[in-house]
Amino acid sequence: MSSFNILYFLRPEHFPIFTIMAYFLGAFFIVLLGKNRTLRNIIAFLSTGTALTLLIALIKPIMLNHQIVAYWMGRRFPAGGYAIGIALEVDALGLFFGLLIATAVFVSCLYSFQYMRRDDNEPQYYTLFLMLAGGVMGLVLSGDLFNMFIMVEILTFAAVALTAFRNQVTGALEAAFKYLVVGCIGSTCILAGTILLYQQAHTLNLAQLATIIPGNLNTNTIVAFALLFIGFCTKAFIVPFHPLAADAHGAAPASISVLISGVLTKSGIYGIIRLTYFLFQLMNLGAMQFWLVFLGSVSMFVCVTMALAQHDFKRLLAFHSISQIGYVLAAVGLSTALGASAGLYHAMNHTLFKGLLFLAAGAVLHETGTTDLGKLGGLSKKMPHTTVLFLIGAASISGIPPFNGFASKWLIYQATYEKAVESGNIGFAFVTIIALVTSTLTLASFVKVTQSVFFGQLPKECENVKEVPFGMRFAMGILALLCIVTGLLPNAVQTYLTEPAARTLFRVTEYINGMLGAGYAENTMGMAAPEAATISYKIVGVWNPLNWLVLLMIALLSVCIVALASRYDAVRQNKGKEVAPKYSLFYGGEDTVFSQVGGGDLFWGFKHNWRHYFSFMHDLHSGIVNDYSLWAVIALALAILYALIVL
């Protein structure tokens, strides 16, 4: 009997609930037993390691065998015929995001063992850390809309508390308060949208909602869509919610920045995908594709330009994080097989290289006590291992081969260009240009950071700096290795991870039947049941040198366009006056006074020529929570208006 019970609980359908329980039980036991550091670390390690192991065990049945694992806590259908009880589901999409979350949480936990030793209240840190992880994991594995809301509440308040954890840091409490206010606005939107859908459909089960909503769009369901969409956008920090990410990253410990960047943002993207592809099934509409691609494009460009203007290491990385999320949203918004696969590939890469970069920034802060780029420099002499690991992350995010960022960005370029050709809409080709310019500016920004932090002259204040402990370098090394492996093996990544996840976006009927039983979608929806799309696309060789040359030519053309526009602006501003030689395009003989710039000012000329834009952005980002709340209300109003017009 005992053997039978063990085998029963080792069945794959139990793994989702065990994964979530691993995090929450770990938080519970740390509250009880966490005063002893060794025991606390063991509990945290076992919790995060168990969750990751359980999800890895699901790769074969779900990713390779295309199964859908459903777990019900309660009866499925009472007399009324509506699904009740808490349902957990794991299809390839949910498992993909679950693996990203579990990996980031596990590595961040390893890093925290050494990184948080100097902090007080370590037990409270690990309790909140595991609550945050459990909340995000519960969201992506849930098959119930209200349960998703509950998990959003858990992760939001855990993230707020962890943002304020180092309350002695200037701005920590203010950043946490902003996050709390705007985050609660987002959570309220999700709750209100959930209530409206329940009022219309009398069920909260995602699969059953997917059979009811698409054929019954009315004012209430359209408003519910807009509310849910904005709610998930606040979790992904999509423009106009991007300032929250910068404030939170600047104040939170680096190990938490990894979770905010690599985990919280993915929960928002996951919610948007479930909402648009599954619940409402709207991605066949050009207006919906435009909406997602437009928001993604604006986010990638606006945030990369704001990153160029930053003088704080972590705030700079925060804006780059949202810029890279813009790539993901734009690619997924194409509603093509290649776009979906490319977007998910980049989501995975973003978790890896952005996590690595934040851990490197944490290492610098751990040893120097500052992230001010103007106070750093020459750390490669003192922290050689951290420097190499940082350079791997910088090359990855900048799209330099052979690292993973290049592979996924290449696929996004191809996906946007092919969409332009297939649809005849030149706007998608413009998205390709925006993505290329953004990548160029990203590289420029990391040249600035590398020079400011790791090269140049070593300040006197940093003469006693030493390399961080092995445990922190080991955690960074895991992510660095993954950045290299996932860049060198793009075909394997797509075969085993991104293609199966992308396939689920176009096979909603399989998702519904996997949750509610074979034939449920066809019996309920009849002819309206969405057909399984054929997923096929051809990748233009990622490692073909000729393709690299074409990409380089396009990038150079983009840079020239920006340079010419900047020169035109300088000439126009100085019309009728004698123009200084420094404004001449490609002029190489600047006066000495203009060449003596620090690493943080390597691109002062660019910022000068774009000074009107940067001045506008500076005035727009007041830092006042009332203004950011107003942005959220305006974004919601515009989303409702747009949805009512086009749906």
Percent of the chain with pLDDT over 90: 58
3-class SS shares of the chain: helix, strand, coil, % to 5: 75, 0, 25
CA atoms within 13 A on the CB side of 241: 29
Q: What is the pLDDT of residue 195?
A: 96
> For the segment 297-315, what is each residue's pLDDT rounded down to a tens digit?
999 999 999 988 888 899 9
Q: What is the DSSP string of 178-224?
A: HHHHHHHHHHHHHHHHHHHHHHHHS--BHHHHHHHSTT---HHHHHH
Best CA proximity match to 625, nearest among 305, 280, 171, 100: 171
> For the segment 15-73, what is each residue's pLDDT rounded down to a tens digit?
999 999 999 999 999 999 888 999 999 999 999 999 999 999 999 999 999 899 988 87
Cα(422)–Cα(339) distance, rounded to whole angstroms? 13
Tell me, rounded to whole angstroms, the distance of Cα 332 from its chain centroid.
13
Q: What is the pLDDT of residue 603?
A: 62
Q: State mean pLDDT over 613-627.
A: 83
Type of residue at 393: G
Which ranges of 62-205 would DSSP assign to H, the alpha helix? 92-115, 122-141, 145-163, 172-201
Long-range contacts of 301-306 (CB under 8 A, 24+ apart): 301/326, 301/434, 301/437, 301/438, 302/239, 302/242, 302/617, 303/239, 303/242, 304/438, 304/441, 304/442, 304/445, 305/441, 305/610, 305/613, 305/614, 305/617, 306/242, 306/246, 306/617, 306/621
Residue with tokens 């918004």: 333
Residue with tokens 């990894």: 258
Cα(333)–Cα(225) distance, rounded to whole angstroms? 16
> For the segment 253-283, what is each residue's pLDDT rounded down to a tens digit?
999 999 998 899 999 999 999 999 999 999 9
Q: What is the pLDDT of residue 4?
A: 52
Q: What is the pLDDT of residue 101?
A: 96
Q: What is the pLDDT of residue 213?
A: 92
Which ranges of 424-544 would DSSP assign to H, the alpha helix? 426-453, 470-488, 490-493, 499-505, 508-516, 520-525
> For the segment 209-239, what is each residue's pLDDT rounded down to a tens digit?
999 998 889 999 999 999 999 999 999 999 9
Contact 530, 512 (CB under 8 A): no
Type of residue at 59: I
Contact 647, 200 (CB under 8 A): no
CA atoms within 13 A on the CB side of 392: 25
Q: What is the pLDDT of residue 283?
A: 93
Query: Which of 52-61, 99-108, 606-615 has the weakest average pLDDT?
Result: 606-615
Q: State mean pLDDT over 609-638.
A: 86
Cα(191)–Cα(288) distance, rounded to whole angstroms? 22
Structure tokens at 42: 């063991």
Q: What is the pLDDT of residue 572?
A: 47
Residue 601 has pLDDT above 90, yes or no: no
Q: What is the pLDDT of residue 56?
A: 96
Q: What is the DSSP string of 288-341?
A: HHHHHHHHHHHHHHHHHHHHHT--BHHHHHHHHHHHHHHHHHHHHTT-SHHHHH
Q: State mean pLDDT over 241-260.
A: 88
What SS3 state is found at 142?
strand
Please state, rounded to an integer, the average pLDDT across all residues of the chain. 86
Q: Give yes or no for a cis peptide into 384 (omega within 30° of 0).
A: no
